[in-house]
């Protein structure tokens, strides 16, 4: 192994990550190349604890439903609910079945117990209430925003009643039909009712914005922040549903971009509160364009990380994760001419490297791109090697417990 490459290797801990960066970022993002592996989530938990104890981070934001995540935040800050319930209902995408996610929520609640609000840890989901297969009804977000405004502003300023919203929304299952993802004709997103709801959602958000000088003194900051979240989510979902009904070749590219735009808006709101640790798939956090092959062909879009980085500059940092093997998923020893294969030759079970120094050590010829034997695993793109602030390599991922 080239000694220059060995010289780029560090232990994986918060202090080593910080040494790679020019300053403590407002958002420190850790990506993963696949979902559902407990070893990667255990590593995330370990780094978050170190960031809390050593670097003053107080928030973690993960790739989970932003509305459902409010249940988790209530639990870790005030003990509202039970651990079993909030893990089941407050974590989307099936994340509630993960032992590491459960341990994260349990540890945050234990850490916060007895501490003043200013020292408490906070939890945020930053994904929209949607999956790649379906999107939620905008009902919850719209009615929650309407309810907040009803309680705190002149009722004559409201553009509609909650009854009119309910009538336009209709049955939730017409919004959540999974067939709409592959058949635009099944989407309700371009119906007359959906168009009217988009206008009303815009009016409600505008009312929230114009009443901010009053609301910042009349309501707790958390309540106002949640109302803004409701507004972002309602308008984002209605926009997403509209383009679900699109029949053009750009449909899936636009939907992927809109999802990451919702993620980016949520991350910027998290960043406004203070330093936060972010965890999601590499493709949602990288600065370069993301890509995916879907049923109708390849799509490319700018990720949430790219959008946030364009706004925050050096206050956004991205550390990707690359893997050697996931044998239980059919991911065997990486070929030696790939970036993963080169790193696999190191003796460390896991290590942290500076991507720019690694790229230099590898010389002028970039390594080959590793092929993925499995849709759920995205290997490192060598073309993006120098675009991140750090790279964590995990040599062998054991079967989840």
Over the stretch 113-141, which tens digit does the pLDDT of each residue have? 999 999 999 999 999 999 878 899 999 99
Q: Roughly what angle, to the nearest 10 degrees, separates helices 38-55 and 99-112?
A: 20
The model carries a pTM of: 0.96
The Cα-based distances of 241 to 123, 127, 251 in angstroms read 27, 16, 11
The Cα-based distances of 77 to 42, 49, 51, 57, 139 in angstroms read 22, 16, 18, 15, 26
Give pLDDT tens digits for 356-382. 888 777 776 789 999 998 888 999 998
**297: helix, coil or strand?**
strand
Note whether 76 and 117 are within 8 A (CB).
Answer: no
Q: What is the band of 401 on the pLDDT scale with cuts at 50, 70, 90?
A: low
The stretch 136-164 carries a mean pLDDT of 98
Tokens of 308: 């946030």
Could you tell me which residues are beta bridge partners of residue 217? none
The stretch 203-226 carries a mean pLDDT of 98
Note whether 177 and 137 are within 8 A (CB).
Answer: no
Note whether 383 and 368 are within 8 A (CB).
Answer: no
Find how far residue 280's CA is from the centre of its chain. Answer: 5
What local confidence, expressed as pLDDT, does residue 4 receive? Answer: 64
Note whether 208 and 231 are within 8 A (CB).
Answer: yes
The stretch 340-359 carries a mean pLDDT of 91
Q: What is the band of 1 on the pLDDT scale with cuts at 50, 70, 90?
A: very low
What local confidence, expressed as pLDDT, does residue 374 receive? Answer: 84
Residue 313 zone, left/alpha/beta (φ > 0; ψ -120 to 50; rest):
left
The stretch 297-308 carries a mean pLDDT of 95
| Largest Cα span, the chain | 73
User: 125 phi and psi, to 5 degrees?
Assistant: -90, 140
In this predicted structure, the answer to whether residue 212 has a pLDDT above a threshold of 90 is: yes
Helices (H), 83-157: 83-90, 99-112, 139-152
Give pLDDT tens digits for 249-275. 999 999 999 999 999 999 999 999 999
In this predicted structure, the answer to whether residue 3 has a pLDDT above a threshold of 50 is: no
Tokens of 112: 């916060």
What local confidence, expressed as pLDDT, does residue 353 receive? Answer: 94
Query: Tokens 């062998």 map to which residue?
Result: 396
């Amino acid at each position: 192994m080239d000694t220059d490459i060995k010289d780029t290797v560090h232990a994986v801990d918060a202090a080593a990550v910080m040494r790679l960066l020019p300053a403590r970022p407002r958002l420190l993002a850790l990506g993963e190349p696949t979902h559902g592996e407990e070893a990667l989530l255990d590593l995330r938990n370990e780094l978050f604890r170190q960031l809390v104890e050593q670097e003053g981070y107080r928030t973690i934001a993960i790739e989970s439903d932003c509305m459902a995540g409010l249940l988790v935040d209530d639990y870790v800050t005030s003990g509202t609910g039970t651990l079993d319930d909030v893990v089941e209902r407050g974590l989307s995408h099936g994340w509630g079945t993960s032992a590491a996610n459960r341990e994260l929520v349990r540890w945050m609640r234990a850490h916060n117990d007895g501490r003043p609000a200013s020292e408490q840890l906070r939890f945020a989901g930053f994904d929209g209430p949607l999956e790649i297969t379906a999107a939620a009804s905008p009902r919850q977000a719209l009615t929650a925003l309407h309810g907040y405004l009803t309680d705190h502003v002149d009722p004559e300023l409201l553009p509609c009643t909650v009854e009119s919203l309910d009538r336009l929304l209709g049955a939730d299952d017409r919004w959540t039909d999974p067939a709409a993802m592959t058949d635009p004709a099944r989407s309700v997103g371009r119906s007359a009712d959906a168009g009217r709801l988009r206008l009303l959602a815009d009016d409600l958000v505008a009312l929230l914005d114009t009443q901010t000088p009053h609301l910042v003194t009349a309501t707790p900051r958390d309540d106002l922040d949640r109302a803004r979240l409701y507004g972002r989510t309602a308008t984002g979902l209605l926009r997403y549903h509209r383009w679900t009904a699109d029949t053009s070749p750009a449909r899936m590219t636009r939907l992927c971009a809109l999802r990451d735009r919702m993620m980016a808006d949520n991350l910027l709101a998290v960043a406004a509160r203070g330093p936060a640790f972010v965890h999601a798939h590499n493709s949602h956090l990288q600065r370069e364009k993301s890509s995916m092959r879907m049923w109708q062909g390849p799509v490319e879009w700018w990720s949430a990380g790219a959008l946030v980085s364009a706004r925050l500059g050096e206050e956004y940092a991205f550390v990707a994760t690359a893997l050697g093997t996931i044998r239980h998923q059919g991911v065997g020893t990486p070929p030696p001419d790939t970036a993963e294969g080169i790193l696999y030759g190191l003796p460390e079970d896991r290590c942290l490297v500076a991507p720019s120094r690694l790229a230099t050590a590898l010389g002028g010829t970039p390594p080959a791109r590793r092929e993925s034997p499995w849709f759920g695993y995205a290997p490192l793109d060598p073309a993006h090697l120098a675009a991140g602030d750090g790279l964590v390599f995990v040599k062998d991922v054991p079967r989840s417990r």
